[in-house]
């Protein structure tokens, strides 16, 4: 390998998740913050989180029903 062209490698880089979980991995960044990790991801936990807080599905269904009503 050529010298002085590669970034510094941290063998114990600290990864912090928004859920509070933290662990160490090898990386070129010393600290990494992530939003989802294996401790809180629905695939690994088996629980499904519904993120539709704005009611977008209901708003869409209401618009479709209104459009069908005026189409007749």
Q: Is residue 17 part of a domain?
A: yes
Q: Is residue 14 part of a domain?
A: yes
Q: How many domains does the chain have?
A: 1
Order of strands across the sheet that contains 31-34: 22-27, 10-17, 31-34
At 26 the pLDDT is 94
Q: Is residue 28 part of a domain?
A: yes
Q: Is residue 36 part of a domain?
A: yes
- 10 assigned ligand-binding residue: no
Query: 21-64: per-residue pLDDT in tens?
Result: 999 999 999 999 998 888 888 777 777 666 666 677 788 888 88
The total number of residues written for the chain in this structure: 72
Return the structure tokens found at 69. 């009503």
At 47 the pLDDT is 75
Q: Is residue 59 part of a domain?
A: no
Q: Is residue 71 part of a domain?
A: no
CATH at residue 13:
4.10.80.400
Q: Is residue 54 part of a domain?
A: no
Q: Is residue 13 part of a domain?
A: yes
- 17 assigned ligand-binding residue: yes
- How far apart are the C-alpha atoms of 38 and 33, rounded to whole Å? 14
- 11 assigned ligand-binding residue: no
- 40 assigned ligand-binding residue: yes
């Amino acid at each position: 390998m050529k010298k002085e062209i590669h970034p510094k490698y941290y063998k114990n880089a600290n990864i912090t998740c928004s859920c509070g979980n933290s662990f160490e991995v090898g990386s070129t960044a010393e600290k990494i913050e992530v939003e989802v990790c294996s401790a809180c991801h629905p695939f690994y936990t088996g629980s499904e989180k519904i993120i539709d807080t704005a009611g977008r599905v209901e708003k869409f269904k209401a618009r479709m029903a209104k459009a069908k009503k005026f189409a007749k």
